[in-house]
Chain A
């Protein structure tokens, strides 16, 4: 499903963010990426949605080799995976409805389907009454749920998230984690970089730890393993 073989990533400034990465993630898994700041977690995430290209090695996502992916094929990849970020990345001028609908418009869904799907996911994340608001009128937790709704609206098999609870207070973080768990229980693979010891230790999922650009630990039902 997701396969990385001998992946290296060196940025143009000479910083090596990932070296010798080998991972195999099966459909339906929930994986945490943990590690100290600057270890290479975000880089790992960026490689998966082809924000960055590996310097060497192979990355297979559903049989697409990202190392050989052409620029014009990137949109096709991104339509198959949902992405969620710490800063939500919502379009500020569009309503909540329009933000979510955007992900369906790019795949040229008919209007009627778009309406139905968007209302369904808004229901799922509990924000049906906010459809007409714009992002700045929502709390951080609500905005994050909108971005999750957008990530899953076209039913991707994979959702990747880079510190999705990084900007949220503990209670809100737990709500967000609950939403991710629901999505995962429907069979969607979830890969999440996080600094939250509490969440990782409570949820008991697979944990991949990256330190200084290398994978140092990869365990099922792992622990966070760092003091904060």
Chain B
């Protein structure tokens, strides 16, 4: 195909979009609605995925040492912990460090805790990290049987629930996305079909004059591409705006230590690109499907 013919197809595709008026708006509306839903689901699923992954990588066992344990015993306990099978690292955190961490994490309110700096009520702690996250529970049990242990803490339930929730969300989200995409394709191909009631006659005429299938298909391809791209503008604006808001405002108030959203840059941009691509595919597919039948023979 010559360059000027490509330009011709682009021109005709744009012309059809303008001439089809309301049908164009209906098609763009279908793409827009779908993409808004798709992008919300994608943002949700991908973030849950990320959170779960963070937690998974982040499963630590916090071992609180009994108050009044002597320094030697603490050192011995540290050695003992390091020797457990499947332990990757053991970090010691003295009661002063624990208090400082508490004060830091509380912000303003933390200041009241500073009173305790003289007479620290907290335990020394060891943070034990398993080589494989799945071993966490087993190792925690083993630690429990050691001497001088006050408490063994790890986020067992949180982890389990999140994993389960995430799996459901993923399956449901993907099913919904697929369903939505197909609905949109169907809507577009229908809208485009309606735009030329006697489409088969028209395609017959084009062929009579010597047009190849490719020549006939190209403007539809361009038209679909444009419908998809135009339909993705509002969803992309929502993704960028909404995610920016979430990332900056909401996260401050939630402040779960383990909830950390994917960073706006690059995630929101990548998601926007994905939404654009899905829009383009929906548009092209819907549009090319609508004439496929007539191009045979």
Interface SS of chain B: helix
A103 touches B205 (CB 8 A): no
User: Using Cβ atoms and an 8 Å threshold, which residues of chain A touch B206?
Assistant: 91, 102
Residue from the list A49, A76, A92 in contact with B208, Cβ < 8 A: A49
Q: How far is the CA of A90 from the CA of B163 in the complex (A)?
A: 62
Chain B residues near A107 (CB-CB < 8 A) = 210
Q: Let me know if B202 and A78 touch, CB within 8 A.
A: no
The answer, among B2, B202, B205, B207, for a CB contact under 8 Å with A75, is B207
How far does the Cβ of B195 sit from chain A's closest Cβ, in whole Å?
9
CA distance A107 to B8 in the complex (A): 12
Number of interface residues of B (CB under 8 A): 19
- A130 beta carbon closer than 8 Å to chain B: no
Q: Is A62 an interface residue (CB 8 A)?
A: no
- B198-227 Cβ-contact flags toward A at 8 Å (1 or 0): 100010111111111001000000000000
CB distance from A76 to the nearest CB of B (A): 7
Number of interface residues of A (CB under 8 A): 23
Q: Are A106 and B4 in contact (CB under 8 A)?
A: no
Instruction: Name the residue of chain B whose CB is nearest to the CB of A90.
Output: B205
Closest CB of chain B to A153's CB: distance in Å?
9
Residues of A near B2 (CB, < 8 A) are 108
Quick check: B212 and A72 within 8 Å, CB to CB? Answer: yes
Q: Write out the residue numbers on chain B whose beta carbons fall within 8 Å of the beta carbon of A49.
A: 208
**Interface presence of A117 (CB below 8 A):** no
Q: Contact: A106 with B205, CB < 8 Å?
A: no
Question: Taking the nearest CB of chain B, how far is it from the CB of A36, in angstroms?
Answer: 26
* Contact across chains for A106 and B212 when beta carbons are under 8 A apart: yes
The answer on a CB contact under 8 Å between B4 and A110 is: yes
Residue of B whose beta carbon sits closest to that of A154? B210
Q: Does A118 contact B (CB under 8 A)?
A: no
The interface residues of chain A lying within 8 Å CB-to-CB of B248 are none
Does A185 have its Cβ within 8 Å of any Cβ on chain B? no
User: Given the complex of chains A and B, what is the CA–CA distance between A114 and B212 in angstroms?
Assistant: 19
Q: Which of A35-59 contact B (CB under 8 A)?
A: 49
Question: Which residues of chain A are near B208, meaning CB under 8 Å?
Answer: 49, 78, 83, 89
A156: min CB distance to chain B, Å:
10
Report A61 CB to chain B, min CB distance, Å: 14
Q: Judge whether B209 and A78 touch: CB under 8 Å.
A: yes
Task: Select which of A75, A92, A110 is within 8 A of B210 by beta carbon.
Answer: A75
Instruction: Enumerate chain A residues within 8 angstroms of B196, measured Cβ to Cβ.
Output: 93
Check A106 against B215 for contact (C-beta < 8 Å): yes
| Cα(A51)–Cα(B210), bound, Å | 12
Closest to B202 in A: A91
Task: Give CA–CA (A78, B204) in the complex, Å.
Answer: 12
Measured CA separation A189–B2 after assembly (Å): 31
> Which residues of chain B come closer than 8 Å to A220, judged between CB atoms?
none
Q: Is the CB of B4 within 8 A of A102?
A: no
- Chain B, 8-42, CB within 8 A of any chain A CB: 8, 19
Whether the Cβ atoms of A93 and B4 lie closer than 8 Å is no
Given A77-B210, A106-B210, A108-B2, 5 extra CB contacts under 8 A? A72-B212, A91-B206, A93-B19, A106-B215, A108-B4
Interface residues of A (CB under 8 A from B): 49, 72, 74-79, 83, 89-93, 102-103, 105-108, 110-111, 150
Provide 13 A-B residue pairs closer than 8 Å at the C-beta atoms, listed in order of the A residue: A72-B212, A74-B207, A75-B212, A75-B215, A91-B202, A92-B202, A102-B209, A102-B211, A105-B215, A106-B209, A108-B1, A108-B2, A108-B5
B residues at A contact (CB < 8 Å): 1-2, 4-5, 8, 19, 196, 198, 202, 204-212, 215
Q: Which 4 A-B pairs have the closest CB atoms?
A: A79-B210, A78-B210, A75-B212, A106-B211
